[in-house]
Amino acid sequence: MHNDVTATGHAARIATVDALLPAPLPFEVHDDATLLSAQVGDTTAAGLATSTELGPDSSQSIWRALTEHRLEVQLAGPDPAAGLDALLTRWDEHLSTIARPGDPECSAVVSRPSRDTAGVTEMLRHGFAPVGVIAVRPAQRMAASGPTTTPGVCIRHATPDDLETAVHLMLELQRYDAQFGRVTVRPGIDELVGKELLRLLERPEPQVWIAELYGQALGLAVLQMPDETAWIQHRVAASRIGYLSSLAVAEAARSAGVGTALAAHAHQVFDEAGADVVLLHTAVLNPRSTPFWYAQGYRPLWTGWQRRPAVR
Ligand SMILES: CC(C)(COP(=O)(O)OP(=O)(O)OC[C@H]1O[C@@H](n2cnc3c(N)ncnc32)[C@H](O)[C@@H]1OP(=O)(O)O)[C@@H](O)C(=O)NCCC(=O)NCCS
């Protein structure tokens, strides 16, 4: 069976699933990747298995397990769910030779187009949970009418003087999000978050925004403009991409329109920069962020499935 044949069939299938998905390319098998394949009747499946490790002092480590095993999936033919089932069985055999059993710092991760629903049951049967979503909002999308913003809330650029407040809000966000499977709070997170925010705040025009009421900071939004988002370009069929890195509202001020005001401001900034779409990551099980973002005009584009530990 040919990887190219599966890639062509997969691309044809995906083209009908979601107009905002980029056309998938055949896998390029580099040195530290393993190509897996499976066949069930006329159905073929290909998977590119990779593993990456981060130290706890890496700023990216907040968002994941320190060791992450990933599988990119391509499915072609009449029964993609059966193809995925067989491919996951192959990957499980592979993982059992390389992953540390029972280690919560070792995860198995599969990103799948959210609207390519074939194989969802099989993912669940293999012990994966849908943990994260990359959500997309096309420019000019209307949001549902939200709450009336608390009078007096003003949104301004953050400055280096806001570092302490920004760190406080960001840590509140990370601790809340850590309940939902992906974000991992480890000792030293305060310094990591502080270092990253200081780096952003020291830029000439930091894309860090503060919502304040009568001089008291209640909320924070961090944006990445289209010239900084090449890292996520492969996830969406758009050329100018805005990325909303973080939005946090102090616990005492939630449900009062502060988040809506910050999101509206962020969308205005992205519109002015000519972004075609805005992307963000959100935790599926976060009962605040999931409904909030969907009311702001976002919808799921990619679903991040995770099994953690990767091997029990
Ligand atoms: C998610 C979060 C940023 C939203 O900010 P927020 O200031 O609480 O949101 P808002 O008040 O602007 O909007 C939500 C409120 O709008 C109101 N609302 C929603 N739709 C509405 C509508 N159509 N008409 C009128 N009011 C509406 C509701 O009162 C809702 O509050 P409720 O869910 O408690 O009932 C905030 O809850 C938060 O910081 N959560 C923890 C951290 C987090 O999850 N961040 C996101 C990570 S991706």
E strand residue ranges, 161-201: none
> What are the tokens at 183?
């974000």
23 close to 11: Cβ distance less than 8 angstroms: yes
pLDDT given for residue 205 in this prediction: 86
Residue that the structure tokens 């190219």 belong to: 4
pLDDT given for residue 20 in this prediction: 98
- Separation CA 43–CA 6 (nearest Å): 9
pLDDT given for residue 149 in this prediction: 66
> What are the tokens at 36?
């897996």
pLDDT given for residue 213 in this prediction: 86
Cβ-based neighbour number of residue 88 at 10 Å: 27
CA of 177 to the centre of ligand 1 (A): 15
- Separation CA 106–CA 309 (nearest Å): 5
pLDDT given for residue 150 in this prediction: 67
Q: Is the CB of 226 under 6 A from ligand 1?
A: no
- Ligand 1 nearest atom to the CA of residue 291, by list position: 33
Q: Domain-by-domain residue ranges, the chain?
A: 3-131, 142-296
Blockwise average pLDDT, block size 10, the chain, 312 residues:
84 96 94 96 98 96 97 98 98 97 98 98 98 96 70 90 96 97 96 96 94 92 98 98 97 91 95 97 97 96 98 96
Q: What are phi and psi of 60, to 5 degrees?
A: -70, -20
pLDDT given for residue 2 in this prediction: 57
Residue that the structure tokens 């990933």 belong to: 70
> What are the tokens at 164?
């302490």
Q: Is the CB of 288 under 6 A from ligand 1?
A: yes
E strand residue ranges, 77-182: 106-113, 129-138, 153-157
CATH T-level fold of 3-131 = Aminopeptidase (3.40.630)
Can you name the residues that pair with 305 across neighbouring β-strands? 110, 130
pLDDT given for residue 141 in this prediction: 85
Mutation choice for ligand 1 from 174, 244, 249, CB with most ligand atoms inside 8 A: 249
Considering the segment(s) 142-296 as one domain, its CATH architecture is 3-Layer(aba) Sandwich (3.40)
Strand 67-76 and strand 241-249: the pairing is: unpaired
pLDDT given for residue 142 in this prediction: 74
Is 3-131's fold the same as 142-296's?
yes
pLDDT given for residue 204 in this prediction: 87
- Separation CA 128–CA 111 (nearest Å): 11
